[in-house]
Amino acid sequence: MTDGTYEVVVVGSCMTDLVSQAPRLPKAGETIHGHGFFIGFGGKGANQCVQAARLGTKTAMVCKVGKDFFGDNYIQNFKNNGISTEFVRQTEQAATGAATIIVNDEGENAIVIVAGANLLLGEEELQWVEPALGGAKVLVCQLEIEPDVTLLALRMARDRGVKTIFNPAPAIAGLHADFYRTSDIFCCNESEAELLTGVVVRSVEDAARAGEEFLQRGCGSVIVTLGPQGCVVLTAQDPTPRHIPAKPVTPLDTTGAGDSFIGALAFYTAQYPTMPLEEMARRANQVAAISVQAAGTQASYPSRGGLPPHLF
Ligand code: RIB
């Protein structure tokens, strides 16, 4: 993009994903044999940005990577996906973020992130992003950068009338109240909902209860994702929880499926602003379901050309 206008702006993280495939997740102190290894592009922020871009939105990523091999590669990855790198900065003070991921034969994962350069994205750097943020339709944020920076981005978007999608992942206890008040769409998974509300989320009814709590805290609308069970949607205008089921698929690798869902949600919010949130969630479920049937995070994300026309 050269004209400086973007539909979706993501302020968030980039990670290099180091992925081992193994029959099961190891226990503490245990070594097990895996059967596959690959390196991929990840990080919740970048994943969401890439999915939105692949569906056809003009996107910009605001992030920081290291001045190293992984950082250089990541910038090229954004370019390859048609994402603006106008607001991507490199630092010599820390390495590009990295995620160690183990995926078992059921497609489940365990992840450790070392955020590195992501934590050096500062509040002052959001100031030069301001023009792009003001002209955007949607801002998307998560919690893999400094929470204060995320909150500032959300406040800046709200003050400029830009719709916000906030994904509180990885969740942190005692989230500042303004995270809820500045979220037009607050979207989290079962474990994040549980950590933030204390409600153990296993069923649709549990997700509905957690969602009601988030609405009370000031969110404009809420989506609690439930993996193969789909998601639950609530809005301040219509607080009746609606269950949006997902079509059953056989998962190979669920890593980053939530990011695919949120990237798709950002795309629909930007390009179909009058579409009911339930319908956006129904379509985003279908996009994310495709991503779990292939290995990797961004490597598994579908592009518009490979998707059925009824999603557009
Ligand atoms: O949500 C999946 C992502 O979480 C991975 O790509 C990994 O980098 C971590 O950030």
1 pLDDT above the threshold of 50? no
Ligand 1, atom 9: closest residue by C-alpha: 43
The count of other CB atoms within 10 Å of the CB of residue 244 is 22
Contact 165, 193 (CB under 8 A): no
Name which of 23, 25, 200 is nearest 112 in CA terms: 25
pLDDT of 132 strictly over 90: no
The model's pLDDT over 237-271, given as tens digits with 9 standing for 90+, comes to 988 999 999 999 999 999 999 999 999 999 999 99
Task: State yes or no: pLDDT of 31 exceeds 90.
Answer: yes
Q: Per the residue annotation, which of 17, 184, 206, 259 is the catalytic one?
A: 259
Q: Is the pTM of this model over 0.85?
A: yes
Q: Which of 113, 141, 143, 187 to mutate to test the pocket of ligand 1 (most atoms within 8 A of CB)?
A: 113
Rounded CA-CA distance 111/189 in Å is: 15
What is the Cα–Cα distance from 165 to 255, expressed in whole angstroms? 20
Q: Whose CA is nearest to atom 8 of ligand 1?
A: 43
- Identify the CA nearest to 61 among candidates 77, 85, 79, 44: 85
Three-state DSSP at 33 gives: coil
What is the rounded average pLDDT of the residues 19-28? Answer: 96
Separation between Cα atoms, residue 9 and residue 62, nearest integer Å = 7
Burial environment of residue 92 by CB neighbours within 10 A (0 to 12, 13 to 18, 19 or more): exposed
Instruction: Measure CA 58 to chain center.
Output: 17
The closest-lying atom of ligand 1 relative to the alpha carbon of residue 47 is 6
Amino acid identity, position 258 = G
CB atoms within 10 A of CB 136: 24
Query: Does 259 participate in catalysis according to the annotation?
Result: yes
pLDDT digits (tens, 9 = 90+) for 206-243: 999 999 999 999 999 999 999 999 999 999 998 899 99
Q: Summarize the confidence of residues 266-280 as an average pLDDT.
A: 97
| Token pair in block for residue 152 | 């500032």
For residue 141, the CA-to-ligand 1 centroid distance in Å is 14
CA 255 to chain CA centroid, nearest Å: 11
Q: Is 297 in the pocket of ligand 1 (CB under 6 A)?
A: yes
- Among candidate residues 188, 297, 86, the one with its CA nearest the CA of residue 180: 188
Beta-sheet pairing, 221-225 with 59-66:
unpaired
